[in-house]
């Protein structure tokens, strides 16, 4: 595990719970970025995995920073731990079962640095199956997903980070609170690869419905 540098510009945060099948592919795509390697770090939170996730993460050595939760505390709490551990100016989330185009960081970073009056920026995505065959393209401005959005770290902290009580729809809650004060711009390039598979946490329809009701209650009257 390497120490976190105060000179990095971007932190990529990855939360992983029992992701032995996919986390290696995710990290390899991040290490293959055209963005200068010394200017970003990869922070992986192993959220109490009981499979081979921890062993796979050790194979990347000092290329990544690993934060280990002794127990499974949930996705939003893991994301918050990663965000508060870094001093980078920008934060972008990539899920452990997804992966990205080699230009992912470079394009999003350039957009925000060349437009300092803009807040956050999202990119489009390709929905892929388990064999990484493209199923369709997603427009992040019309059908947003949790990842592939580069934020200014100080603004995420300003809105209070993720609500750790939302074990599903944590991204929608964050987005609604973020958009109350800031804006998310859009780059129509499919730089993110969103993997659909049988173990997606969104497949738990009962849990999704429960937190969707909580989301509506919390943001009652919000023009979402």
How many domains does the chain divide into?
1
- Could you report the per-residue pLDDT of 26-85, keeping only the tens digit for each? 999 999 999 999 999 999 999 999 999 999 999 999 999 999 999 999 999 999 999 999
- Asked whether residue 28 is domain-assigned, the answer is yes
- Triad 171, 173, 174: Cα angle to 5°: 65
Contacts of residue 36, Cβ cutoff 8 Å, sequence gap at least 6: none
- Whole-number Cα distances in Å, 204 to 167, 173, 199, 209: 11, 18, 9, 9
Given 3-state DSSP classes, what are the helix, strand and coil percentages for the chain, each rounded to the nearest 5?
Answer: 35, 25, 40
- Could you report the per-residue pLDDT of 133-166, keeping only the tens digit for each? 999 999 999 999 999 999 999 999 999 999 888 8
**Other Cβ atoms within 10 Å of 184 Cβ, number:** 18
The predicted structure's pLDDT at residue 204:
53
- Asked whether residue 2 is domain-assigned, the answer is no
- Asked whether residue 44 is domain-assigned, the answer is yes
**If DSSP codes are grouped into helix, strand and coil, which group holds residue 79?**
helix
Structural domain of 104: 10-216
């Amino acid at each position: 595990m390497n120490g976190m540098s105060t000179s990095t510009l971007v932190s990529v945060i990855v939360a992983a719970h029992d992701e032995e099948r996919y986390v290696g592919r995710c990290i390899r795509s991040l290490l293959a970025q055209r963005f200068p390697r010394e200017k970003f770090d990869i922070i992986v939170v192993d959220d109490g995995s009981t499979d081979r996730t921890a062993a796979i993460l050790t194979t990347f050595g000092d290329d990544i920073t690993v934060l280990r939760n002794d127990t499974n505390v949930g996705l939003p709490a893991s994301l918050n731990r990663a965000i508060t551990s870094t001093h980078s100016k920008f934060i972008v989330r990539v899920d452990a079962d997804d992966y990205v185009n080699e230009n992912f960081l470079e394009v999003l970073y350039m957009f925000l640095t060349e437009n300092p009056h803009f807040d956050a920026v999202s990119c489009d995505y390709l929905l892929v199956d388990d064999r990484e065959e493209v199923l369709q393209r997603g427009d992040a401005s019309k059908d947003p997903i949790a990842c592939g959005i580069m934020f200014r770290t100080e603004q995420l902290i300003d809105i209070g980070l993720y609500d750790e009580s939302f074990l599903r729809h944590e991204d929608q809650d964050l987005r609604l609170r973020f958009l109350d004060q800031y804006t998310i711009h859009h780059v129509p390039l499919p730089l993110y690869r969103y993997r659909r598979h049988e173990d997606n946490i969104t497949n738990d329809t009962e849990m999704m419905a429960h937190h969707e009701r909580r989301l509506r209650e919390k943001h009652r009257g919000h023009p979402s």
